Amino acid sequence: MTLIDFHTHNPKAEKNVFHVTNFDYFKAPSLSKPKGSYTIGLHPWWIEKAGSNWPEELIKIYSDFYCVGIGEIGLDRKCMVDFEKQKKVFAIQLEIAKKLKSPFIVIHCVRAYNDIIEHLKESSFEGNIVFHDFAGNEEELKALMKFRCFFSLGWRLYKSEKVQEMIKKIPVGKLFLETDDQLDYSIFEIYHRASELLNIEQEKLAKELVQNYEILCQ
Ligand SMILES: [Zn+2]
Protein backbone atom coordinates (compact mmCIF):
# COMPACT_ATOMS: atom_id res chain seq x y z
CA MET A 1 0.00 0.00 0.00
CA THR A 2 1.41 3.36 -1.03
CA LEU A 3 0.28 6.50 0.74
CA ILE A 4 0.62 9.82 -1.05
CA ASP A 5 1.49 12.85 1.04
CA PHE A 6 0.30 15.30 -1.57
CA HIS A 7 1.68 18.47 -0.02
CA THR A 8 4.53 18.57 2.46
CA HIS A 9 7.28 20.99 3.40
CA ASN A 10 9.10 18.40 5.54
CA PRO A 11 9.39 15.09 3.68
CA LYS A 12 10.56 12.36 6.04
CA ALA A 13 12.17 9.05 5.20
CA GLU A 14 8.93 7.05 5.44
CA LYS A 15 8.46 3.62 3.98
CA ASN A 16 5.72 3.29 1.36
CA VAL A 17 5.00 7.01 1.29
CA PHE A 18 5.22 9.01 -1.93
CA HIS A 19 5.87 12.66 -1.05
CA VAL A 20 5.12 15.65 -3.21
CA THR A 21 7.26 18.28 -1.56
CA ASN A 22 6.62 21.98 -1.79
CA PHE A 23 10.02 23.45 -2.66
CA ASP A 24 10.22 26.71 -0.68
CA TYR A 25 12.83 28.20 -2.99
CA PHE A 26 11.42 31.72 -2.95
CA LYS A 27 11.33 31.72 0.85
CA ALA A 28 14.94 30.59 1.14
CA PRO A 29 16.89 30.21 -2.12
CA SER A 30 19.68 28.60 -0.09
CA LEU A 31 17.52 25.50 0.45
CA SER A 32 18.69 22.52 -1.51
CA LYS A 33 16.37 20.85 -3.95
CA PRO A 34 14.13 18.22 -2.28
CA LYS A 35 14.66 14.53 -2.94
CA GLY A 36 11.96 13.07 -5.16
CA SER A 37 8.96 14.80 -6.66
CA TYR A 38 8.27 18.42 -5.87
CA THR A 39 6.38 21.51 -6.96
CA ILE A 40 7.67 25.04 -7.38
CA GLY A 41 5.77 28.30 -7.12
CA LEU A 42 5.89 31.79 -5.68
CA HIS A 43 3.69 31.63 -2.55
CA PRO A 44 1.82 34.88 -1.80
CA TRP A 45 3.68 35.17 1.55
CA TRP A 46 7.08 35.40 -0.15
CA ILE A 47 6.29 37.81 -2.96
CA GLU A 48 8.35 40.63 -1.44
CA LYS A 49 11.31 38.29 -0.99
CA ALA A 50 11.47 37.15 -4.61
CA GLY A 51 13.75 39.14 -6.92
CA SER A 52 12.42 40.77 -10.07
CA ASN A 53 13.57 37.83 -12.19
CA TRP A 54 11.44 35.31 -10.29
CA PRO A 55 9.47 34.19 -13.40
CA GLU A 56 12.72 33.14 -15.11
CA GLU A 57 13.91 31.39 -11.93
CA LEU A 58 10.62 29.52 -11.66
CA ILE A 59 10.71 28.39 -15.29
CA LYS A 60 14.31 27.22 -14.86
CA ILE A 61 13.47 25.13 -11.78
CA TYR A 62 10.35 23.74 -13.43
CA SER A 63 12.45 22.26 -16.23
CA ASP A 64 13.95 19.79 -13.72
CA PHE A 65 12.71 16.22 -14.23
CA TYR A 66 11.53 15.88 -10.60
CA CYS A 67 9.47 19.05 -10.68
CA VAL A 68 5.94 17.79 -11.28
CA GLY A 69 3.80 20.91 -11.06
CA ILE A 70 3.46 24.59 -10.21
CA GLY A 71 2.61 25.51 -6.61
CA GLU A 72 1.85 26.53 -4.11
CA ILE A 73 0.52 29.72 -5.61
CA GLY A 74 -2.58 31.70 -4.78
CA LEU A 75 -4.23 34.44 -2.79
CA ASP A 76 -4.33 35.12 0.94
CA ARG A 77 -6.49 37.84 2.44
CA LYS A 78 -4.91 37.32 5.84
CA CYS A 79 -1.34 38.03 4.82
CA MET A 80 0.33 41.44 4.78
CA VAL A 81 1.30 41.47 1.11
CA ASP A 82 -0.79 43.90 -0.96
CA PHE A 83 -3.74 41.97 -2.40
CA GLU A 84 -3.54 43.61 -5.84
CA LYS A 85 0.09 42.57 -6.05
CA GLN A 86 -0.87 39.02 -5.07
CA LYS A 87 -3.45 38.92 -7.87
CA LYS A 88 -0.87 40.09 -10.40
CA VAL A 89 1.65 37.46 -9.34
CA PHE A 90 -1.04 34.75 -9.35
CA ALA A 91 -2.13 35.69 -12.89
CA ILE A 92 1.47 35.58 -14.12
CA GLN A 93 1.93 32.10 -12.64
CA LEU A 94 -1.29 30.83 -14.23
CA GLU A 95 0.10 32.10 -17.51
CA ILE A 96 3.43 30.34 -16.90
CA ALA A 97 1.62 27.09 -15.94
CA LYS A 98 -0.31 27.30 -19.18
CA LYS A 99 2.77 27.98 -21.28
CA LEU A 100 4.73 25.16 -19.66
CA LYS A 101 1.71 22.84 -19.94
CA SER A 102 2.01 22.01 -16.26
CA PRO A 103 -0.33 19.07 -15.61
CA PHE A 104 -1.47 20.69 -12.36
CA ILE A 105 -1.15 23.67 -10.05
CA VAL A 106 -1.40 23.68 -6.24
CA ILE A 107 -3.41 26.52 -4.75
CA HIS A 108 -3.03 28.26 -1.40
CA CYS A 109 -6.23 30.16 -0.71
CA VAL A 110 -7.27 32.06 2.40
CA ARG A 111 -10.64 33.82 2.27
CA ALA A 112 -10.27 34.42 -1.45
CA TYR A 113 -12.16 31.61 -3.18
CA ASN A 114 -14.24 33.99 -5.27
CA ASP A 115 -11.13 35.85 -6.44
CA ILE A 116 -9.53 32.53 -7.39
CA ILE A 117 -12.66 31.54 -9.32
CA GLU A 118 -12.54 34.86 -11.21
CA HIS A 119 -8.92 34.20 -12.17
CA LEU A 120 -9.70 30.64 -13.25
CA LYS A 121 -12.52 31.91 -15.47
CA GLU A 122 -10.22 34.45 -17.12
CA SER A 123 -7.28 32.11 -17.50
CA SER A 124 -7.10 29.55 -20.24
CA PHE A 125 -4.98 27.21 -18.12
CA GLU A 126 -6.17 23.73 -19.05
CA GLY A 127 -4.50 21.60 -16.41
CA ASN A 128 -5.82 20.38 -13.07
CA ILE A 129 -6.13 22.53 -9.98
CA VAL A 130 -5.57 21.28 -6.44
CA PHE A 131 -6.70 23.32 -3.47
CA HIS A 132 -4.38 22.30 -0.68
CA ASP A 133 -5.64 22.60 2.92
CA PHE A 134 -9.09 23.29 1.50
CA ALA A 135 -11.16 25.24 4.01
CA GLY A 136 -13.96 26.58 1.85
CA ASN A 137 -17.68 26.11 2.41
CA GLU A 138 -20.15 23.96 0.50
CA GLU A 139 -21.09 26.73 -1.90
CA GLU A 140 -17.43 27.33 -2.76
CA LEU A 141 -16.92 23.60 -3.22
CA LYS A 142 -19.83 23.50 -5.66
CA ALA A 143 -18.53 26.50 -7.62
CA LEU A 144 -15.04 24.98 -7.82
CA MET A 145 -16.33 21.59 -8.95
CA LYS A 146 -17.16 23.26 -12.27
CA PHE A 147 -13.42 23.48 -12.90
CA ARG A 148 -10.91 20.62 -12.97
CA CYS A 149 -10.44 20.87 -9.23
CA PHE A 150 -9.14 18.51 -6.59
CA PHE A 151 -9.09 19.12 -2.84
CA SER A 152 -6.35 18.17 -0.43
CA LEU A 153 -6.98 17.90 3.32
CA GLY A 154 -4.72 17.35 6.31
CA TRP A 155 -4.40 18.27 9.99
CA ARG A 156 -7.81 19.98 10.09
CA LEU A 157 -9.38 16.52 9.86
CA TYR A 158 -8.45 16.29 13.54
CA LYS A 159 -9.15 19.87 14.52
CA SER A 160 -12.05 21.33 12.54
CA GLU A 161 -15.61 20.07 12.56
CA LYS A 162 -16.24 21.96 9.33
CA VAL A 163 -13.47 20.05 7.54
CA GLN A 164 -14.60 16.75 9.11
CA GLU A 165 -17.95 17.33 7.41
CA MET A 166 -16.39 18.69 4.21
CA ILE A 167 -14.44 15.50 3.49
CA LYS A 168 -17.74 13.65 3.19
CA LYS A 169 -18.92 16.09 0.51
CA ILE A 170 -15.82 15.90 -1.67
CA PRO A 171 -16.03 13.01 -4.17
CA VAL A 172 -13.27 10.49 -3.34
CA GLY A 173 -12.11 10.84 -6.94
CA LYS A 174 -11.29 14.49 -6.23
CA LEU A 175 -9.48 14.00 -2.93
CA PHE A 176 -5.87 14.11 -1.69
CA LEU A 177 -4.33 14.00 1.78
CA GLU A 178 -1.35 15.97 3.05
CA THR A 179 0.78 16.89 6.05
CA ASP A 180 1.72 20.42 4.85
CA ASP A 181 4.13 22.22 7.24
CA GLN A 182 2.88 20.85 10.57
CA LEU A 183 4.58 18.10 12.56
CA ASP A 184 1.77 17.07 14.94
CA TYR A 185 0.09 14.56 12.62
CA SER A 186 1.90 12.10 10.38
CA ILE A 187 0.54 11.12 6.98
CA PHE A 188 -0.33 7.71 8.53
CA GLU A 189 -2.52 9.41 11.12
CA ILE A 190 -4.16 11.59 8.48
CA TYR A 191 -5.03 8.57 6.30
CA HIS A 192 -6.34 6.81 9.38
CA ARG A 193 -8.57 9.76 10.26
CA ALA A 194 -9.83 10.19 6.68
CA SER A 195 -10.74 6.52 6.32
CA GLU A 196 -12.58 6.67 9.65
CA LEU A 197 -14.57 9.76 8.60
CA LEU A 198 -15.35 8.36 5.15
CA ASN A 199 -16.00 4.89 6.45
CA ILE A 200 -13.71 3.43 3.77
CA GLU A 201 -10.97 0.90 4.41
CA GLN A 202 -7.58 2.56 4.44
CA GLU A 203 -6.21 0.30 1.74
CA LYS A 204 -9.09 1.13 -0.58
CA LEU A 205 -8.72 4.83 0.11
CA ALA A 206 -4.98 4.66 -0.55
CA LYS A 207 -5.60 2.96 -3.90
CA GLU A 208 -8.15 5.59 -4.90
CA LEU A 209 -5.76 8.43 -4.11
CA VAL A 210 -2.96 6.80 -6.12
CA GLN A 211 -5.40 6.67 -9.02
CA ASN A 212 -6.24 10.34 -8.46
CA TYR A 213 -2.56 11.20 -8.66
CA GLU A 214 -2.21 9.30 -11.93
CA ILE A 215 -5.19 11.21 -13.36
CA LEU A 216 -3.77 14.48 -12.06
CA CYS A 217 -0.47 14.00 -13.85
CA GLN A 218 -1.95 13.04 -17.23
ZN1 LIG B 1 2.06 24.41 2.25
Please list, in sequence order, all residues whose beta carbon lies within 8 angstroms of the beta carbon of residue 76, skipping any fewer than 6 positions away: 44, 45, 86, 108, 109, 110, 111, 112
Tell me the mean pLDDT in the region 80-94: 97
Give the dihedral sign, CA 36/39/213/65.
negative
Q: Is the pLDDT of residue 84 over 90?
A: yes
Q: Are 180 and 8 in contact (CB under 8 A)?
A: yes
pLDDT the model gives residue 102 = 97
pLDDT in tens, 8-21: 999 999 999 999 99
Q: Is the peptide bond before 139 cis (omega within 30 degrees of 0)?
A: no
How many whole angstroms from 97 Cα to the centroid of ligand 1? 18
pLDDT in tens, 45-83: 999 999 999 999 999 999 999 999 999 999 999 999 999
Residue 58 has a CB neighbour count (10 Å cut-off) of 23
3-class secondary structure per residue, the chain: CCEEEEEECCCCCCCCEEEEEEECCCCCCCCCCCCCCEEECCCHHHHHHCCCCHHHHHHHHHCCCCEEEEEEEEEECCCCCCHHHHHHHHHHHHHHHHHCCCCEEEEEEECCHHHHHHHHHHCCCCCEEEEECCCCCHHHHHHHCCCCEEEEECCHHHHCHHHHHHHHHCCHHHEEECCECCCCCCHHHHHHHHHHHHCCCHHHHHHHHHHHHHHHCC
How many whole angstroms from 10 Cα to the centroid of ligand 1? 10
How many whole angstroms from 57 Cα to the centroid of ligand 1? 20
Tell me the mean pLDDT in the region 134-153: 96
Q: Is the pLDDT of residue 166 over 90?
A: yes
pLDDT in tens, 24-54: 999 999 999 999 999 999 999 999 999 999 9
pLDDT confidence of 116, banded at 50, 70, 90?
very high
pLDDT the model gives residue 218 = 86
How many whole angstroms from 107 Cα to the centroid of ligand 1? 9
Tell me the mean pLDDT in the region 138-146: 96
pLDDT the model gives residue 132 = 97
How far is it, in rounded angstroms, from Cα 17 to Cα 29?
26
pLDDT the model gives residue 108 = 98
pTM above 0.85, yes or no: yes
How far is it, in rounded angstroms, from Cα 210 to Cα 73?
23
Tell me the mean pLDDT in the region 153-177: 98
Q: Does 3-216 carry CATH code 3.30.70.920?
A: no
Tell me the mean pLDDT in the region 101-108: 98
How many whole angstroms from 133 Cα to the centroid of ligand 1? 8
Q: Is the pLDDT of residue 165 over 90?
A: yes
Tell me the mean pLDDT in the region 147-162: 97
Q: Is the pLDDT of residue 119 over 90?
A: yes
Tell me the mean pLDDT in the region 195-209: 98
